[in-house]
């Protein structure tokens, strides 16, 4: 089934095309290795080739696709080495964000969205809705990083996050039921409320390192060369 971009203004068309292509890659609707010509994508989305070309160049800079002259694009795979390196960066930057938030002694109102995301994770697990759990989990981490108030730190985290998202969604149902994440988020919230910056950084670091170990173990167990 084809889908087209709604008719946005000229200034937002290229962003709409970019967002649509990016979402297909992140949700594995276009899996690693998927190839498509610019013209094919443009026809499917109901736009000209120019915004498609601009979107692909942008996505290539982000490490999601390879632009092949006269052959369109190819969705790039992720290896175990890629994932280990991405998680090392995410662990360091997110732990710094957690430390920064705790040092500010955030208000209850500032922490409410993180609490709500954690509650949503717990509710999703109770009904075995892993997709909803994953969405709430990412919402928690996005809000935590944003709450740190450092634009460059947030841009760095989100720049690596897109690539990690694909692997996480690909392996979501291969991992043990993620009951530990909710408990770890609650422990992190306790540290943030208490203004315990060292504790917040330590809890987040352990949380991300555990997630990384579980993900890399799946690569090894299922002999995945790349996803």
Q: Let me know if domain 10-75 sits in CATH 1.10.3720.10.
A: no
3-state class (DSSP) for residue 142: helix
3-state secondary structure of 221: helix
Q: What are phi and psi of 3, to 5 degrees?
A: -135, 150
| Identical fold, 10-75 and 80-221 | no
How many CB atoms lie under 10 A from the CB of residue 126? 9
Lowest mean pLDDT among 9-18, 125-134, 184-193: 9-18
* pLDDT for residue 4 is more than 60: no
The pLDDT mean for the chain works out to: 90
- Residue-level pLDDT at 6: 42
Cα within 13 Å of Cα(157), Cβ side: 24
Residue for token pair 């899996």: 31
Query: In which order are the strands placed within the sheet that holds 35-36?
Result: 35-36, 72-75, 65-68
Instruction: At 132, list the tokens.
Output: 């909803």
Tell the CATH topology of 80-221: 1.20.120
Confidence band for 54, pLDDT divided at 50, 70 and 90: very high
Stretch 92-104: mean pLDDT, rounded? 97
Query: Which pLDDT does position 171 carry in this prediction?
Result: 83
Question: What are the sequence ranges of the domains in the chain?
Answer: 10-75, 80-221
Residue with the larger pLDDT of the pair 71 and 91: 91
């Amino acid at each position: 089934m084809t889908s087209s971009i709604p008719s946005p203004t000229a200034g937002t068309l290229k962003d709409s095309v970019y967002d649509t292509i990016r979402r297909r890659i992140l949700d594995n609707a276009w899996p690693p290795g998927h190839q498509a010509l610019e013209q094919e994508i443009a026809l499917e989305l109901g736009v000209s080739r120019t915004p498609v070309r601009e979107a692909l160049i942008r996505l290539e800079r982000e490490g999601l696709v390879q632009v092949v002259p006269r052959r369109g694009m190819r969705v790039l795979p992720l290896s175990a080495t890629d994932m280990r390196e991405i998680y090392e960066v995410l662990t360091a930057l997110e732990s710094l964000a957690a430390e920064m938030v705790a040092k500010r002694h955030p208000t209850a109102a500032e922490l409410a969205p993180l609490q709500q995301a954690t509650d949503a994770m717990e509710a999703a697990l109770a009904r075995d809705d892993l997709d909803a759990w994953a969405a709430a989990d990412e919402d928690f981490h996005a809000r935590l990083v944003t709450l740190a108030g450092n634009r460059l730190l947030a841009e760095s985290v989100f720049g690596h996050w897109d690539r990690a998202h694909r692997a996480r969604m690909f392996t979501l149902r291969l991992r043990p039921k993620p009951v530990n994440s909710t408990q770890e988020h609650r422990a992190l919230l306790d540290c943030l409320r208490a203004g315990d910056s060292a504790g917040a950084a330590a809890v987040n670091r352990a949380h991300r390192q555990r997630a990384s170990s579980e993900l890399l173990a799946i690569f090894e167990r299922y002999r995945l060369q790349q996803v």
